[in-house]
């Protein structure tokens, strides 16, 4: 692919806290591999400051990645939103073009890719821990992968009511439960997904659950998280936050380059390898 020489060369990830973000590392690795002469930085930003920041973007800007707590805050500020953004109520990707903001969600695609990479092509039952914007994306991804029985564990279950309505609108059966009930629930699902920061996970699970369910932990700082380490200790299967981060990011790169996540980029496999190499030790043992 020839080098991308457009003047629209500025990109960034926005959020708070943002210092721990690996997005600059993986995006820069992808751009270098693909021959894109773009720059990508991290900007500490809260929802209160988001409208002013977006209003000040000039013609040099190509796009933005959004993380906590901005995925929902950005939606009313968009000039256009992909139907998936409207479905899940959050955007993690914004294209800046001719003074307009175009919103997308690549978390759903990233989660589905992560399931498939782990050899999970068909889900039946899942648990989701947390009720924020990422939980909504994982909910939709799970249903698209076949899940029909979904339990959501939240510190305040009433705050998960929008997720329950979303899941039911897509034909799934959802149950809302108190956070701590995840440690004593009788059944073991196919997958347990945790969407809370690593330091906020205070649940422990029985060995039978850790052996029987795949853990999908979106946290990656620190890695392994305590809950991921508990899975590794019994040789349980884990989908890491690195997997989701890379898979949703390559979809973002597609959008930034071509305006759609549906068309793979030339040399995309090389870019994915470069992204993973940039954030994981050479031996690949990120959980040792």
The residues assigned a catalytic role are: 71
Q: What are phi and psi of 102, to 5 degrees?
A: -115, 120
**Are the CB atoms for 268 and 250 separated by under 8 Å?**
yes
**Are the CB atoms for 142 and 126 separated by under 8 Å?**
yes
Helix 241-258 vs helix 23-34: crossing angle, to nearest 10: 50
Chain centre to alpha carbon of residue 13: 13
Spatial separation of the C-alpha atoms in residues 284 and 76, rounded to whole Å = 41
Counting beta carbons within 10 angstroms of the beta carbon of residue 57, is it exposed (0 to 12), middle (13 to 18) or buried (19 or more)?
A: middle
Helix 133-144 vs helix 161-169: crossing angle, to nearest 10: 20
Q: What are phi and psi of 30, to 5 degrees?
A: -65, -45
The DSSP line for 53-92 is: HHHT--TTEEEEEE-TTHHHHTGGG-SEE-HHHHHHT--S
Spatial separation of the C-alpha atoms in residues 283 and 189, rounded to whole Å = 31
């Amino acid at each position: 692919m020839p080098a991308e020489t457009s003047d629209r060369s500025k990109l960034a990830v926005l959020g708070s806290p943002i210092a721990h973000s690996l997005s600059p590392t993986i995006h820069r690795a992808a751009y270098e591999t693909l021959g894109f002469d773009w720059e990508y930085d991290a900007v500490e930003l809260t929802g209160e400051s988001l409208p002013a920041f977006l209003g000040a973007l000039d013609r040099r800007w190509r796009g933005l990645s959004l993380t906590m707590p901005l995925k929902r805050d950005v939606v009313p500020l968009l000039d256009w939103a992909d139907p998936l953004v409207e479905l899940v109520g959050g955007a993690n990707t914004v294209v800046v073009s001719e003074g307009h903001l175009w919103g997308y969600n690549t978390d759903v695609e990233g989660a589905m890719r992560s399931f498939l990479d782990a050899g999970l092509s068909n889900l039946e039952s899942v648990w989701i821990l947390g009720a924020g914007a990422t939980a909504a994306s994982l909910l939709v991804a799970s249903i698209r992968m076949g899940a029909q029985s979904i339990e959501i564990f939240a510190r305040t279950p009433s705050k998960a009511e929008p997720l329950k309505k979303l899941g039911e609108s897509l034909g799934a059966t959802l149950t809302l439960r108190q956070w701590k009930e995840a440690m004593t629930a009788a059944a073991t699902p196919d997958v347990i997904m945790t969407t809370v920061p690593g330091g906020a996970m205070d649940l422990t699970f029985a060995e039978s659950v850790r052996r029987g369910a795949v853990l999908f932990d979106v946290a990656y700082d620190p890695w392994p998280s305590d809950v991921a380490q508990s899975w590794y200790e019994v040789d349980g299967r884990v989908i890491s936050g690195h997997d989701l981060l890379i898979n949703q990011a390559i979809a973002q790169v597609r959008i930034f380059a071509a305006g759609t996540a549906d068309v793979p980029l030339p040399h995309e496999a090389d870019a994915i390898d470069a992204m993973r190499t940039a954030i994981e030790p050479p031996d690949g043992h990120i959980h040792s």
